[in-house]
Structure 1
Amino acid sequence: MKDVQRQFGKTAAAYVASPTHAASEDLDRLVMLARAHGGERVVDVGTGVGHTLRRVAPLFRAAIGLDATREMLAAGGGVLADGGVTNALLVQADARAMPLATAAFDVATCRVAAHHFTDPARSFGEIARVLRPGGILVLVDNYAPDEPALDAFINTLETLRDTSHVRNQTLDGWRALVEDAGMRASIDSAAMVTKFSTEAWLARSQTPHDRAERVRAMLRDAPPAAVERFRITPTEFAVPKVVLVGRR
C-alpha cells in the first residue's frame, strides 16, 4: 500500500484535471448501471479524487468514498464540493480491510483502481462482504488480452510508467476475482478503450526520466501485434476496458 500512497500522494492534482478520469463513456455506463439498480447506500472503492463518487453519490441517500491516499482524498473534497455533492463521506482506508459494516451497501463501484490492489482476492472479498444480498458491484478497469505476449507487453508498460501498478487482469481474470469473492459476474461491456496521449500519461504519473525513456522505446519498437491491439501511434495508444457487474 505504501507504493500506492507514495505514487498518488504526489500526483493528486494531476488526477483532478485528468480528462480520462473526470468524464468518459465508461463512467457514463457505470452511472447508468448504479442508477438502474438503485438503493440507499453506495460505496466507491479506490475513489481517488472522487470523480466517480461525484457522479454516483447524488443517486443515493448516502455515499462513502474509500481510498488509501490522504492527498487524493483531500483533492477529492474539492471535486465533490465543486459538484455540489453533500451526502458523501471520504474515508482513508485499505481496500483489504474496509472499516465498514457487513451487508451495509446496495451498490459498490470500483473504477480504474483495482489494477493497483496488492491483494485483489482479499479486496474483492471485502467488497462482497459490505454488499447487501442482492447488491451489485460495478467494476470498470483496463484488461489485458488473452495472448501471453500482449498481456506481458501492456503490464510491463504500465509498471514501467507507475511502479504501484499491480496487474491489468484478463477478462477471465477479472471475472474469476469477482466470482471467487462470492458474486455472480457478468461482462456488461468489453468493447470500450481508453486512449492515452503518451506524453500526458507519463507526465500525470511523474515517471522518472529513465523509466519514461523505456516506455517510449517499448512503444516505438512494439511488435506488430501490439501496435494493432493497442492502436499504437507515434503520440498515443489505447488500452481495452471492461465494465463488469458482480451480483451478491
Structure 2
Amino acid sequence: MKQHALAAHQFGTSTAAYLTSAVHAQGQDLQRLGAMVQADQTCRALDLGCGAGHASFALAAAGAQVTALDLSPAMLDIVAQEAQARGLHGLQTCQGAADKLPFADASFDFLVTRFSAHHWPDVPAALREMRRVIEPGGTLVIIDVVALESPLCDTLLQTVEILRDASHVRDYRVSEWRAMLQQAGFAAPSTDDWTLTMEFASWVGRMRTPALRVQAIHDVWARAPQEAREAMRVQADGSFDLSVAWLQTRSSVDSKRAN
C-alpha cells in the first residue's frame, strides 16, 4: 500500500478517537490560532491534513473562511458533521494531499497544519505547494511533534513512532524545518515549543496498534540508553514526553515563486 493510501486508511478507522482525544481537541495553540484571525473577518484559511478538524474549528469559530483538507474521506465526513453541529457555516471540506494541492495560486492568506506533517511522504514538495497557494505576505503556521536535536533521541523517537503507527514518516527536528521552509521560499520561522505527555495506553489505543508492536515498543523503551529515557521522560508504563513546536512564517512579498 502506498504512503498516501496507508495514511488515509490508518486514520479513516480512528476518526472518533481523534475527535475526542484531549491531546488533539485541547491546547492553547488552538486559542492562539483563533486569536490570529479574529480581527480579519475576510481571512481565507487552509488547514492541511485537518484530521478531526480541531484547527479548522478554532479558525472558523473566530470568523475565518476555512477549507479543511485531508486524505481520509472518513475524517472529512466527521469534520463536516461536527462543523454543522457547532454552527460553523464558514467551513468546507476538500479531499486531497498536501504535496498536490487542488487550488489555484494565491488562494489563501492563512495556512496551518497541525499534527499532520509527520505523515507526509514529501514535505519539501508540500511546502512548495503551500508557497504556491498562499498570498504573498500570507502567514503559515506549522504545529507538529518534533524530534530532539540529539541523534540518539531522534532515532529512538522515530523507532517507537513507526512501531505504533505504520503511516508515520518522520518527526523533523526544528533545524530541519527551518532549512526546508527557507528552501521553499518562506522566511526563517519564529518558533515556540512545549511538551505533551503521551499516556501510553491511549497513545497506542487511538491507532489500534497491534499487540505485537505494543510489546516491541515496551522492549525498545526498556533497552534504550538511560540518557535518552531521561530526556524523553519515559515512565514505567511506557508513557513519555513528546516535544511539540509552533513554527510561524510568512511567504515572500515579491512575485517570484519557489520552483
Give me the TM-score of the superposition, normalised by structure 1.
0.94
The secondary structure found in structure 2 opposite 1:48 is coil
Match of 2:255 in 1: none
Relative to structure 1, the CA distance from residue 124 to residue 219 in structure 2 (aligned partners, 3 Å threshold; closer, same or farther) is same
Counterpart residue type for residue 201 of structure 2: E
232, 235, 247: which one pairs with 2:234? Answer: 232
Match of 1:143 in 2: 146
- Give the fraction of aligned pairs with identical amino acids, expressed as a percent: 32
Counterpart residue type for residue 196 of structure 1: M
Alignment of 1:40-55 (within 5 A): 40-55=43-58
1:133-158 Cα shifts (integer Å, max 9, x gaps): 11010110011111111100001110
Counterpart residue type for residue 15 of structure 1: Y
Q: For structure 2, which runs of at least 5 residues remain unmatched after alignment? A: 252-259
Contact 1:100 1:130 (C-alpha < 8 Å) held by counterparts: yes
Q: Distance in 1 between matches of 2:32 and 2:177?
A: 18
Runs (4 or more) in structure 1 with deviation over 6 Å come to none
181, 200, 203: which one pairs with 1:201? Answer: 203
45, 59, 63: which one pairs with 2:62? Answer: 59
81, 85, 89: which one pairs with 1:86? Answer: 89
Counterpart residue type for residue 142 of structure 2: L
1:154-203 Cα shifts (integer Å, max 9, x gaps): 0111011001010000111111221111111323302x112110111001
Match of 2:159 in 1: 156
Match of 1:125 in 2: 128
Counterpart residue type for residue 83 of structure 1: R
Match of 2:116 in 1: 113
Q: Distance in 2 between matches of 1:15 and 1:66?
A: 16
What is the aligned length?
Answer: 247
Q: Distance in 2 between matches of 1:184 and 1:37?
A: 22
Relative to structure 1, the CA distance from residue 173 to residue 38 in structure 2 (aligned partners, 3 Å threshold; closer, same or farther) is farther
The secondary structure found in structure 1 opposite 2:121 is coil
Q: For structure 1, which runs of at least 5 residues remain unmatched after alignment? A: none
Counterpart residue type for residue 175 of structure 1: R
The secondary structure found in structure 1 opposite 2:219 is helix
Counterpart residue type for residue 138 of structure 1: V
Match of 2:29 in 1: 26
The secondary structure found in structure 1 opposite 2:24 is helix
Structure 1 residue 244, shift from structure 2 partner: 0.4
Q: Distance in 2 between matches of 1:66 and 1:161?
A: 24
Counterpart residue type for residue 84 of structure 1: G
Contact 2:45 2:67 (C-alpha < 8 Å) held by counterparts: yes
Match of 1:242 in 2: 245
Structure 1 residue 232, shift from structure 2 partner: 1.1
* 1:100 matched to 2:103: yes
Counterpart residue type for residue 103 of structure 2: L
Query: Cα RMSD over matched residues?
Result: 1.6
Q: Distance in 1 between matches of 2:233 and 2:98?
A: 33
Match of 1:185 in 2: 188
Match of 2:219 in 1: 217
Contact 1:171 1:242 (C-alpha < 8 Å) held by counterparts: yes
Structure 1 residue 34, shift from structure 2 partner: 4.3
Relative to structure 1, the CA distance from residue 213 to residue 51 in structure 2 (aligned partners, 3 Å threshold; closer, same or farther) is same
The secondary structure found in structure 1 opposite 2:98 is coil
Moved more, 65-74 or 223-232: 223-232
Q: Distance in 2 between matches of 1:237 and 1:29?
A: 25
Contact 2:37 2:63 (C-alpha < 8 Å) held by counterparts: no
Counterpart residue type for residue 197 of structure 1: E
Q: Distance in 2 between matches of 1:145 and 1:225?
A: 13
The secondary structure found in structure 1 opposite 2:221 is helix
The secondary structure found in structure 1 opposite 2:153 is helix
